[in-house]
Amino acid sequence: MERKETLLLKLGEVVLKGLNRRTFEDRLLATVSRRMRRYGNFQTYLRQSTVYVEPLNDECDMDAAFDAAQKIFGIARVARAIPCEREPDAITRAAAAYLRDEFAKARTFKVETKRADKQYPLNSIQVSQEVGGRLAETFPDVRAEMKNPDLTVYVEIREKAAYVHTPSVLGAGGLPVGTGGRALSLLSGGLDSPVASWMIARRGVELELIHFVSPPYTSPQAQEKVAQLAQILTASCGRMKLHIVPFTRIQEEIRRHCPEAYFTLIMRRFMMRLSELVAKQSGVTAIVTGESLGQVASQTMKALAVTESVVSSPVLRPLIGMDKVDIIHMSRKIGTYDTSILPYEDCCTVFTPRHPATRPALAEVEAAEAALDVETLCAEAFAGVTWQWVKP
């Protein structure tokens, strides 16, 4: 029977779990099966800390499936491999055929074997020697070299077959989405919040998203930009509900009645209040923000305390200790950078104070905010919330 190229998805942090490990594995396997479905008809199953993704016909898009597998949280490494019978002769034939192009480009090689099946009669060194010697005869122009070879042939001896592949690539790591609870992430059109959303989802958190719009001060293109960012995030986070909150009247009332130095702080306090209302309506436990300590005036330690004081929900800030260079690097890695830098402003930049307060006292901010009918403004905005599904 013809053996088809297979994906081997190696589990990461999940293997460290104890009695509840099965819960994490079941969630991860369900996620892999769902993500692979759009690329063809695959059989997926989990054995010995590895998820096997086997195509059931020739119509499967292995390139797309390989790329998608690298974005699934809970997977540490991904390899494209060819299965074969477990005898050295069969392993040699499979390696010679599957890696012929790699051998054509290499001057040196070695074989590295791992025995997941400890009952196999040959040990790892013996398999490597047997297969390596036969490959050297098959490719006489490529010599064996144990240190720094051009090509490493990996052989894995597993229960039902042997698998041959070249070096695996890094996966997304983290924990399967849905194993760490649910949270609502504030998503703007900037660099920070998409990275924060990705990082907290990597800890197994299932996300909903919330975005604030202030027409005519913010444009339809700005809202579309946020939808595009959410779309990019679905490759790792899965489908998410995006809540859109009308924010114009609140910002105009802040500008009319509050001291300029507190504009941004009071705006952020309204965002937190409204986020908590949406979170409670959705049954979500925590609120996620893209704040980084000291990055801007509203993100000093005192300012963060003032902002957070209006909610009782936990506020998660995965970027809190990162600098801008770190965040930019991460945004490039996860694919949001090019969209984030598109020149469409969001409501966070509307009515920005010239001299914002950096060490605000809570009592002073509350006194400034007392000029507003906070309850009515929040109720009106909450009544106008709309939402949409964002799917991969």
pTM for the model: 0.91
User: In angstroms, what is the C-alpha Rg of the chain?
Assistant: 26
Neighbours of 51 (CB within 10 A): 25
Q: Is-contact 5 94, C-beta < 8 A?
A: no
Dist CA 326 CA 247 (whole Å): 30
Helix axes 263-282, 248-257, angle to 10 degrees: 150
Burial class (CB in 10 A: 0-12, 13-18, 19+), 376: exposed
Predicted confidence (pLDDT) per residue in 174-202, tens digit: 999 999 999 999 999 999 999 999 999 99
- Measured at the CA of 154, the angle between CA 149 and CA 157, to 5 degrees, comes to 150
pLDDT at 1: 47
pLDDT at 193: 97
Q: Is-contact 188 228, C-beta < 8 A?
A: no
pLDDT at 143: 95
Predicted confidence (pLDDT) per residue in 230-239, tens digit: 999 999 999 9
Total residues found in the chain within this entry: 392
| Beta strand pairing call for 240-246 and 206-213 | parallel
Q: 341-369: buried (b, 16+ CB within 10 Å) or exposed (e) per residue?
A: eeeebbbbebbebeebbbebeeeebeebb
CATH 3.30.2130.30: does it fit domain 6-170?
yes
Helix (H) or strand (E) segment spanning residue 120: none
Which residue numbers in the chain have pLDDT < 50? 1
Q: 81-119: buried (b, 16+ CB within 10 Å) or exposed (e) per residue?
A: bbbbebebebbbbbbbebbeebbeebeebbbbbebeeee
CATH topology agreement for domains 6-170 and 182-390: no
Cα dihedral 73, 75, 77, 81, rounded to 10, equals -120
Dist CA 13 CA 15 (whole Å): 5
pLDDT at 351: 79
HSE-CB of 142 using CA atoms within 13 angstroms: 28
Cross-strand pairs, 55: 42
pLDDT at 2: 62
Dihedral pair phi/psi, residue 116, rounded to 5°: -75, -25
CA 180 → CA 193, 243, 244, 378, distances in Å? Answer: 19, 21, 25, 29
Q: Is-contact 142 136, C-beta < 8 A?
A: yes
C-alpha 325 chain-centroid distance: 19
Helix (H) or strand (E) segment spanning residue 344: none
Domain positions in the chain are: 6-170, 182-390
Which CATH superfamily groups domain 182-390? HUPs (3.40.50.620)
